Amino acid sequence: MAESVSQVVAQMPRGRFAGLLFLFLGPAVAIYSLFSIYPLIATMGLATYTSDNTGALHYVGLANFQTLLGDALWSKPFWNAFSNNMIFFAVHMLVQNPIGIALAGLLSLPGLRFKGFYRTVIFLPTMLSVVIVGFSWNLILSPLWGVAEGALKSVGLGSLFAPWLGLESTALITLALISVWQFVGIPLMLIYAALLNIPDELIDAARVDGLGHFRIFLHVKLPLILPTIGLISVLTFVGNFNAFDLVYSVKGALAGPNFASDILGTFFYRTFFGNQLQLGNPTMGAAVATVMFFIILVGVCVYLFIAQRRMRRYTF
Amino acid sequence: MPLELRARAAAVHLVLIAYSALAVGPILLVAMNSFKARNAIFGSPLAPPNASTFSLIGYQKVFRASHILTYFSNSMIVTLVSMALVLLFGAMAAWALTEYRFRGSTPLALFLSIGIMVPIRLGSVAILSMMRNAGLNDTLTALILVYVAQGLPMSIFILSEFIQQIPKDLRDAARCDGVPETRIFFEVIAPLLRPAIATVAVFTIVPIWNDLWFPLILTSSDSTHTITLGVQQFLGQYITDWNSVLAALSMAILPVVAIYVIFSRQLIAGLTSGAVK
């Protein structure tokens, strides 16, 4: 049957087949190439230029990268943003993904009631704008309003309260946890879908062998969803190293206090667009974007390497 | 044994209820307090508004002091036009890539999937200068073009998986009847892709509505701000006016929540259908 299909298409005159491909693929390829791939390449190209006072561009090779990584004026904020970004990512990996996996495990228990309700409610924050989420938490954690403090006091932990978003030592972790709160729905849903795809026979076999729910999850289900966990890890990595909105809307472009919550996204924005302290510098901005591109590329390559080497996809 | 099972079920529900409360609590708190007078917001933040504390002063201020309706309609235009184009061009490309065999189809598919992993934001410097040169700076068209380019890779990926699941017999029958390929796509295949819209929406449309970055970079006047940027700037300006801040936040939250609650069944079915494994 499949043969006859390809014959109808294969017998089409060459010109008409090419026209058909052009019609179907043309718009998508054109818009994507022009507004996604070309700007990426052009940005990398621009990173090898510098502009003088008149705005004219001069080719400088890799000098912008030498400045960015070698000149303390640039390299200090860059490495600060980079290590903050690593911490931001680590919090997501250590908090968001385990919570997502645990909730998905609970939701996929057989015979659980109100499943739909829980899924809908827990996924809700993921649908909201980061700006809205950031501001809402800003109010809730504000000592002015005192809601968070009141909530802690009611369980006898009032002394633990501090203006977390305002302190240099806690601002970054607090922002990361707000982001975790918002995006836990994504690992939850992807893991949940993967768990539903595990055939019942495997679970039944384990149960006949006398394993409880928890050990079935740990020893049977978890190894089977490793590829999904790998995918979630790389999505988290890309999302985190591209994050900007949350820090910008809660702490502004200067990512205070004293750059304690500065991540690569806000560093890129300041460099490119400027702020109270400095003028925008498109060519240095392009250099920062290029470095961010390579960081993301390394993350994706590590994932592809591990996914190819170590993770077997199980097909049933 | 039944007692133990019941205790275990109760424990599971307890955990899920606790987490659900943590997920919606902050949203409810903001929405609830936006309908209260200033004294009540600070005096009893956890109490719902009642006859004596009810106040719409925050909403009145937001309408008076900001172009919230303009922002809202800009967001609607940008999101709906982008969504239509992402779905149309994405489905057409996905169809050609999954259905037809031609030289270069694998490299082309790889080329199109770069955008799934590499964020288009990193090209912002060049995008801004392109838009300036083309005279599109500070227009909704610029936003739409960028968002379509941003959404296409993921939508092609998702729609390809859906198209592969459509039984082959359908198009074979049409082909035997001599129906041209374009009509097969638009009249046989496209209507069957309706369930995929929810999945595409979650991964490409919701991020467009919620985006702050590109409106911040590409739009500079009130008449082109989207709701996310407009609310962000309003909040920055009125940060000490708690009534207005809570009202503006609620106005940004409530439409999204309403649409989400109406379509949540389809959205979650789309998410967990295995289209994105």
Average pLDDT (B182-192) is 88
With CA atoms as reference, report the closest residue to B195 among B135, B267, B109.
B267
Per-position b or e across A279-292, b if 16+ CB within 10 A of its CB: eebbbbbbbbbbbb
Q: Is pLDDT at A83 greater than 90 in this prediction?
A: yes
State the fold for domain B66-237.
Answer: MetI-like fold (1.10.3720)
Q: B125 vs A282: CB contact, 8 Å cut-off?
A: yes
| Residue pair B231/B146 in contact by the 8 Å Cβ criterion | no
Q: Name residue A58's beta-bridge partners.
A: A50
DSSP string, B207-256: HHHH--HHHHHH--SGGG--HHHHHHHHHHHSTT-HHHHHHHHHHHHHHH
**Measured distance CA(A248)–CA(A231) in Å, rounded:** 27
Task: Report the amino acid identity of residue A235.
Answer: L
Q: Look at residue A225 and tell me whether its pLDDT is greater than 50.
A: yes
CB A124 within 8 A of CB B27: yes
Using the 8-state DSSP alphabet, how is residue B120 labeled? G
**The two three-digit tokens of residue B15, written as one number:** 């955990």
Q: Among A239, A237, A261, A246, which Cα is nearest to A81's?
A: A261
**B211 to chain A: which residues are within 8 Å by CB?**
245
Cα B272 to Cα B277: distance, rounded to the nearest angstrom:
9
In chain B, % of residues over pLDDT 70: 97
> For the purposes of burial, counting CB atoms within 10 Å of the CB of B96, is it exposed (0-12), middle (13-18) or buried (19 or more)?
buried
Q: Worst-scoring range by mean pLDDT, A32-36, A232-236, B140-144, B270-274?
A: B270-274
* Cα–Cα–Cα angle for A295, A274, A252, rounded to 5 degrees: 80
Tell me the torsion sign for CA atoms B266, B268, B273, B277: positive
- pLDDT of res. A169: 87
Cβ–Cβ below 8 Å for B252 and A8: no
Q: What pLDDT score does A6 carry?
A: 58
pLDDT in tens, B49-88: 888 888 888 888 888 888 888 998 999 999 999 999 999 9
Over 80: is that where the pLDDT of A8 sits?
no
pLDDT bracket for residue A154 (50, 70, 90): confident
Q: pLDDT tens, B125-177? A: 999 999 999 999 889 999 999 999 999 999 998 899 888 888 888 888 888 88
Q: Half-sphere exposure of residue A280, counting CA atoms within 13 Å on the CB side? A: 13
Show residues of chain B in contact with A19, CB under 8 Å.
none
Sign of torsion over alpha carbons A156, A158, A159, A164: positive
Q: Residue A173 CB: number of other CB atoms within 10 A?
A: 18
Query: All domains of chain A, ordered by start, with CATH?
Result: 68-309 (1.10.3720.10)
Angstrom distance (rounded) from CA A109 to CA A173: 32
CA distance A151 to B163: 50
Q: What is the rounded CA–CA span in Å between residue B208 and residue B156? A: 16
The string of DSSP letters for B243-265 reads HHHHHHHHHHHHHHHHHHHHHHH
Q: How far is B64 from chain A (nearest CA, A)?
A: 20
Average pLDDT over residues A69-77: 90
CB contact under 8 A, A17 and B231: no
Predicted confidence at residue A55, as pLDDT, reads 76
Encoded amino acid at B3, one letter: L
Residue B237: pLDDT band by 50, 70, 90 thresholds?
confident
Q: Count contacts between A and B (CB, < 8 Å).
A: 265
CA–CA distances in Å: residue A164 to residues A168, A199, A256, B167: 8, 45, 12, 55
Measured distance CA(A120)–CA(A140) in Å, rounded = 23
- Both tokens of A253, joined, read 């472009």
Flag if A129 and B124 touch (Cβ within 8 Å).
Answer: no
Q: Give the one of B115, B124, B249 whose C-beta lies nearest to A32's C-beta.
A: B115
Tell me the two tokens of residue B38. Answer: 């200033």
Mean pLDDT over A12-41 rounds to 91
Q: Could you count the other beta carbons within 10 Å of the beta carbon of residue A250?
A: 23
Chain A residues near residue B264 by CB distance under 8 angstroms: 120, 123
A contact test, residue of B122, B220, B237 with most A CBs within 10 A: B122
**Tokens describing residue A232:** 């979630």
| CB-CB neighbors (< 8 A) of B147 in chain A | none
Distance CA A236, CA B67 (A): 35
* Record: contact B115-A286, CB cut-off 8 A: no
Give how far B12 is from chain A: nearest CA, Å.
7
Interface test with B, best of A136, A224, A254 (most B CBs within 10 A): A136
Partners of residue A2 in chain B, C-beta under 8 Å: 168
C-beta atoms of B102 and A17 within 8 A: yes
Coil, helix or strand at residue A51? strand
Tell me if A193 and B272 make a contact (CB, 8 A cut-off). yes
DSSP, res B66: S
Nearest to A261 by CA among A269, A271, A270, A251: A251
Residue A9 touches chain B, beta carbons under 8 Å: yes
Which pLDDT band, with edges at 50, 70 and 90, does A308 fall under?
confident
Please tell me the number of Cα atoms within 13 Å of B35 on its side-chain side: 13
pLDDT digits (tens, 9 = 90+) for A85-105: 999 999 999 999 999 999 999
Rounded to 5°, angle at Cα A120 from A123 and A112: 115
Q: Distance (Å, rounded) from C-alpha A293 to C-alpha A42?
A: 13
Domain residue ranges of chain B, discontinuous segments joined by +: 2-59, 66-237
Beta strands in A5-95 (DSSP E): 49-51, 57-59
Give residue B7's identity as a one-letter amino acid code: A
Tell me chain A's radius of gyration from C-alpha atoms. 25
DSSP structure class, residue A35: I
Measured at the alpha carbon of residue A281, what is the angle toward residues A280 and A284, in degrees to the nearest 5? Answer: 140
Across the interface, of B29, B124, B209, the residue whose CB is closest to A147 is B29
Nearest CB to A124; choose among B126, B127, B260? B260
